Structure 1
Amino acid sequence: MTGPVVIFSASIGAGHDGAAAELARRLGEQGLEVLRHDFLDMLPPGVGRRIRDGYARQLNTLPQSWGWLLNAMGGPRMSAGAAGLSASLATTRMLAAIPADAAVVVSTYPLASQVLGRLRGDGRLSVPVAAVMTDPSVHPLCAAAGVDVHLAPGLATADQLRRLGVPTLAVSPIVRPEFRPVTGPAERDATRRRLGLPADERLAVVVAGSWGVGDVAATARDITATGLAVPVVVCGRNEILRRRIGRDGSAIALGWVDAMPELLRCADVVVHNAGGLSSAEAMAGGVPVISYRCLPGHGVANAAVLARAGLSPWPRSATTFAEELSRAMTATPAPQASAEPDAADLIAALAGSAPLIADPLQEAVV
């Protein structure tokens, strides 16, 4: 009997936890036991909450400082320091959270990957470790020495990791199966009525992560100014933003949305500023995606990767944004087909319950 798969994610935004939840679901369907942990809970009491709250405040009040910090952390000394500090704070609790009979350990959060890579490298962790990427761009902290394999969503991300010299396999995007194309106008209209959205308007769904951060209100105003679509802004847990947009009437303002697959099936286009899970979900549903007013740091980096891969244009001005929005409205998009293997299948292979699926562009890693 194969032991459990242990997954470490982080409750910073929704992307890391979202990938972990979908991996857990897929692995459970294969009959594997899954144990999930929040990396922030592996830190000394109160430290994880302060990190999460500080990150949220930084993005809300001085987002440019996040870009500066992320760039600084990309240097070898700062990167090594962050990895070392994480290991000193989290090692004891992480080791205690991994049962003796664990079959494989998975991380969807870079700092957790760094700690696990060190434990794997010095022999204190004897089972395979997989690091799962949740963004199209790769920060140097995502490449963890000692980790057995890094699983990258698509070839563009995999190429970045390989250049950093770590074992890598490309996988298909880790999104829930509910994110699928709309079957036709009848389903779209019925879904819009159910969600209280106008049935006879073009809709541009604006996503800004679970915290609703960035120049979201300005994006909504830019969409309205084009006259091409009605902006539907997903404000996440940012109630201040939802109330502000609702008051000025510049857009339809939604709070936290549980029915995100259905909302995306209503959309004519999705406009994002971070390029993580939400953009992957939209692409899986065959909805055109535009990167705009991107967050400093990971948002800008993700937009650059998506633009180079031809997956999401990245206009830098209101004029070029209007042009891209017009193109999106006349496009006939299709779901992004992926020939890469399923990440859950590769993790199951590492756990010893299935044969490893090799990536033809990468030498064998196990």
Structure 2
Amino acid sequence: MRKSSARGQTTEAGERVLILSAGVGAGHNSAAAAVQQACAGRTDIAEVQVLDVLQVSSVLYRALLGKGYFVLVEGLPWLVEWGYDMTDPPFRRRGPIDPWTRANAAPVIGAIKRFRPTAIVCTHFLPAQLLAMLLLRGVTDARTAVVTTDYDFQGLWLTGAFHSLFVAREEARVELMALGLPSDRVAATGIPITQHVTDPSTLTRGTDRPPRLLISAGASGGDYAVSVVRQTMHMRSPFTATIVCGRNDALRQRIEQVVAPAGDRYRVLGFTEEMPQLLRGADLFIGKPGGLTASECMAAGLPMVLVNPIPGQEVRNGDYLMEQGAAVRCNTGATIGWKIDEVLREPGRLQRMQAAAQRAGRPDAAADVLTGLLDGPKRPLVVTRAAQKTILATSEKRLVATDLTGPSALVRLVDSVAGSTVALLRSQERDDLEQRYSTGRGDLVLRRSKAPAWPQREEQRLLRAVLRGDKELPVRVEALSGRSSSRE
């Protein structure tokens, strides 16, 4: 689905922001909507457009990616976990985009050319990979942000060219820096969520009433959701519960029948616009730890009881939340009621978890992403394919980039004027560049060339992306320690 909202009349000075997502689940599109909302708070943005790349692809491609994933989640979760682990190492796949994906990307490329963005935000790795190709080919020079939507970093999000990479937490930023990514291109902002104006009088979280549970049944699946609700009926602690079933009317009717004997203790809802109020009025959330759901709960100071997580990213999200003290996980449906009782009956435990959730919340993530991108470097960072190979090997050997020596060691090229890192390459590639572009004073001046000394295509990719419309670019060479480096 394409959405466009123009804020007044477009001017030459105003930013044109294109937000690219993919409707694999609701989280990526929700993050895109949050960034779109944050655009409205800036006076330097003339127009913003949101595009779900799957909506303009072929029906088969959309079905395989959008629906096929959840078929595997329900039927073959072990295969989902295997696929997640197989694609987790950064730059495991370094070749060009496959022909089928390229064909389905054609409408997206057309939309980019028509909209003429000055900035692009990707909330899914599919458009992020496409934008890397377009930057390297000179199709666009828009500043490009990659915005991850889970707490743990997954290697598919790391591409060969981008301007800014925004991750959910500091540990992910440290991980990427350990692999060699420069600190000026990676920021820990949190996961973008939409902001809601909530009447304080509607927020009644406190100790003068039984704890309120908020159960996300629609996200937990039919039979499992019913079992979760059944288990809460065996709890000994006093409580009330709101159960949200989303657009699953059949599930809502099943749950209404299950809780009917409990009287008014339970409130069962279908799709609702009240989620912001429900999140801020509840005391404890029971559901799956999707990235956006977890981020919204943390921003609301709402701790979680995690049930039935999707293998891979949701399990890792849960690990982070439990590490922060903001969640507990129940690994079997038969003990959910007991697990919640344990939280509610221990004096002060619920309050400690709520405080931990509040500390983990990043409600301003969307605005921080825009600030980081629009106020950040104008030239992209290019990671050469040789450097990508080194980064993959580094991750597989559990090393950090500064441990590497010799021709495979990584160095970076830094824009001498702007001070931003524009390329990450192997030491051997640096030697080849010095033969052609050295000034004799320890730095380089990159220029367009017709007879490169190292592989022509790779040098052309680098020069085309970092020079943009300029004829030359003075750069200095630095080792990953930050020291000036002409030789190691």
Say whether the fold is shared (TM-score over 0.5). Answer: yes
Aligned to 1:207: 216
Pairing of 1:44-123 with structure 2 (within 5 A): 44-74=58-88, 79=93, 84=98, 87-99=101-113, 101-123=116-138
Which one of the candidate residues 13, 16, 19 is aligned to 2:28? 16
Instruction: Determine if contact 1:294/1:300 at 8 Å carries over to the other structure.
Output: yes
> How has the CA–CA distance of structure 1 residues 208 and 139 changed in structure 2, closer, same or farther, with 3 Å as cutoff?
farther
> Which blocks of at least 5 consecutive residues in structure 1 are unaligned?
192-198, 353-362
Pairing of 1:143-162 with structure 2 (within 5 A): 143-162=158-177
Which one of the candidate residues 215, 218, 233 is aligned to 2:227? 218
Aligned to 1:195: none
Structure 2 SS opposite 1:98: helix
How far does residue 20 in structure 1 lie from its aligned partner after superposition? 0.8
**Using the alignment, how far apart are the partners of 2:311 and 2:268 within structure 1?**
24
Aligned to 2:371: 345
Instruction: Determine if contact 1:19/1:108 at 8 Å carries over to the other structure.
Output: yes
The answer as to 2:165 corresponding to 1:137 is: no
The answer as to 2:272 corresponding to 1:257 is: yes
How far does residue 82 in structure 1 lie from its aligned partner after superposition? 10
Larger Rg computed on CA atoms: 2
> How has the CA–CA distance of structure 1 residues 153 and 332 changed in structure 2, closer, same or farther, with 3 Å as cutoff?
closer
The answer as to 2:186 corresponding to 1:168 is: yes
Aligned to 1:248: 258
Cα distance per residue 1:54-92 (max 9 Å; x no partner): 223333444444323323333579755896467523442
Pairing of 1:279-294 with structure 2 (within 5 A): 279-294=294-309
Instruction: Determine if contact 1:5/1:35 at 8 Å carries over to the other structure.
Output: yes
**Using the alignment, how far apart are the partners of 1:139 and 1:212 within structure 2?**
25
> How has the CA–CA distance of structure 1 residues 13 and 320 changed in structure 2, closer, same or farther, with 3 Å as cutoff?
same
The answer as to 2:360 corresponding to 1:333 is: no
> How has the CA–CA distance of structure 1 residues 81 and 270 changed in structure 2, closer, same or farther, with 3 Å as cutoff?
farther
> How has the CA–CA distance of structure 1 residues 286 and 49 changed in structure 2, closer, same or farther, with 3 Å as cutoff?
same
Aligned to 1:360: none
**Using the alignment, how far apart are the partners of 2:218 and 2:154 within structure 1?**
19
Cα distance per residue 1:107-163 (max 9 Å; x no partner): 001122111122223433322210011111222112222122211123234334444
Aligned to 1:314: 329
Instruction: Determine if contact 2:89/2:154 at 8 Å carries over to the other structure.
Output: no
**Using the alignment, how far apart are the partners of 1:321 and 1:143 within structure 2?**
38
How far does residue 27 in structure 1 lie from its aligned partner after superposition? 1.2
How far does residue 326 in structure 1 lie from its aligned partner after superposition? 4.0
Aligned to 1:356: none
How far does residue 287 in structure 1 lie from its aligned partner after superposition? 1.8
Structure 1 SS opposite 2:40: helix
Stretches of 4+ aligned residues off by more than 6 angstroms: none
State the percentage of identical aligned residues.
23
How far does residue 224 in structure 1 lie from its aligned partner after superposition? 3.1
How far does residue 13 in structure 1 lie from its aligned partner after superposition? 1.9
Paired letter, 2:202: E
> How has the CA–CA distance of structure 1 residues 111 and 244 changed in structure 2, closer, same or farther, with 3 Å as cutoff?
same
**Using the alignment, how far apart are the partners of 2:93 and 2:227 within structure 1?**
34
**Using the alignment, how far apart are the partners of 1:348 and 1:14 within structure 2?**
26
Q: Name whichever structure is richer in strand by fraction.
A: 2
Mean CA deviation greater in 240-249 or 317-326: 317-326
**Using the alignment, how far apart are the partners of 2:78 and 2:138 within structure 1?**
40
Taking structure 2 as the reference length, the TM-score comes to 0.62
Aligned to 1:323: 342
Instruction: Determine if contact 1:74/1:140 at 8 Å carries over to the other structure.
Output: yes
**Using the alignment, how far apart are the partners of 1:242 and 1:157 within structure 2?**
38
Count, aligned residues? 345
> How has the CA–CA distance of structure 1 residues 179 and 277 changed in structure 2, closer, same or farther, with 3 Å as cutoff?
farther
Pairing of 1:262-277 with structure 2 (within 5 A): 262-277=277-292
How far does residue 348 in structure 1 lie from its aligned partner after superposition? 2.7
How far does residue 169 in structure 1 lie from its aligned partner after superposition? 0.9
